[in-house]
Structure 1
Amino acid sequence: MKISRGEKAFGVFNTILLSLLAFSTLYPFVYMTALALNEGLDSLKGGIYFWPREFTWINIKTVVTNPLVQDAFFVSVSRTIIGTFATVFITGICAYALSFRRLPYRKLLMIYFLIPMLFSGGLIPYYIQLRDLGLIDHFLVYIIPGVLNIWNLIVMRSFFENIPDSLIEAAEMDGANPFTIFWRIVIPISMPMIAAISLFTAVTHWNSWFDGAYFVNEMNLKPLQTYLQNILMNADAAQNLRQGSASVSASSNAAVAAASRTITPMALKMAVVILGTIPVLIIYPLLQRYFVKGVLIGGVKE
């Protein structure tokens, strides 16, 4: 088929526009990576835009070997895994129950769930509630408050409502109980939706810093993003991280000790940002294949 000049011009314009958009999205990460892999004192001279001028691993090593960063990373990984599984499971079983049109008081229950999504009591009553539940300075403060996500509940319920009734009826005729139907039939069919919800939930847990900043006082319980926010906003925190690395390097060989003297707070900030970003960049491609699958795996012919 012959392509007109207008279509060719639109294709070129569209390619250039999308390329610029992709570049503007990718460049901040490239810039931070270059600063994280460059000597701190050399970075202060400027002129680093795409790749490091004086390559070094000392900034990354300093962050990775810091005990506070290790604890924060472990807390973030733990809350992401546990929180994602708990949220998807609890929200999923509630959404599956609400998808049955014969459920008593179904509309009233949906209104009950919608009210806290639309209206909030405020930060102070929320803090008092967490305190009365004993969740302040406790790891479960990252898990329990978000174990039921109303928005995901609505999305899951709508998806479950579109599952063919004949599929459920056939399982019931074969003697399957509701939990077996949910685990053996509904879950496999809903994997694309569950993968998407799991990804969004995991990213939310990983990027969350607010609860660690206001509901947790112990440093060994703060997640990585809270620690990163503290470093970015507080110059003393970055300086303490640098001094901690210098004291560790003093007991190592002379070459490492000399390299540690080139570390700057800005270089450490970029290294922590890279450390907090890489896990999300790894998770997205692994779950991408679920997004291109069909909504239903298999089917039933009426």
Structure 2
Amino acid sequence: MNETTTPPFEIKLAVSAEMVEDTLRRLLDTRPLEGEVARPQRLLDAMRHGVLNGGKRLRPFLVLETASLFDAQGEAALRVAAALECVHCYSLVHDDLPAMDDDDLRRGQPTVHRAFDEATAILAGDSLLTYAFDIIADDATLLSAEKRLALTLRLARAAGIGGMAGGQALDLAAEGETLAEEEILRLQAMKTGALIRYACEAGAIIGSGNDADRERLGEFGAAIGLAFQLADDLLDLTASSEAMGKATGKDAAAGKATLASLHGIDWTRAQLRGLVAQARDILAPYGEEAEGLRQAALFVAERQN
């Protein structure tokens, strides 16, 4: 698809993804940083394989776009966006392992444990996770110490036991179980929604937004986080493996409870439309400056892969 046929939002998303990928390439350099002894080549290659393999870079886009509401574009926002992508990609590397989801493909390429080995994949994920906090804490992220502390603390809570990792634990424990709707919502708010909410809150922190801004953008992130998971569940039921670049139909095969399987395809599509409308209402105070975020909400709900 070329620029004459690609929708403007997707062009904007691709430009953002390229900027973030360039930042990640710089960060995943072979040269050790002060305090590091060496960067083992095989481990670094596995980290790069897990991170520099395409993808829409939606979470980094949300960091950059929410920061832009406060005129806070620049290297600091890019570094925070890249750090968040390291956390997201670490989670994918570990989720793909045989002990978890046991996937062979990710974005149409062999998963890290297939391209390398399981031990290297575990270490690559560990390294990406810890490096994310290194990136934010570093003085090279040109923000005040107070902002870097807030970003670090919130990321730790979004990624850890009360967020993404906890959500994955609940998801694994729920295989073959019948969950109530509120249990599914809690699981998904943790596993998928926590990092997306963080992405939107982070932009407000970078840009010195007030408490009301942080809360409002966090609510926006929660709405599109749920939309992202609903769309993902819908695609798992309806899309082909070729379109997705990974195996589909695995939730049903594993006996995982999702809202789409609980309520059906038509209900899920109606919920997605409602979440897009909710997201737009949340952004109303920001006027035209938030159009990129409105388009992101629609993109999340209507994505085909």
- Please say which structure displays the higher CA radius of gyration: 1
- Larger relative CO (CA 8 A, sep 6+): 1 or 2? 1
Question: Please, what TM-score do these two structures have when normalized by structure 1?
Answer: 0.30
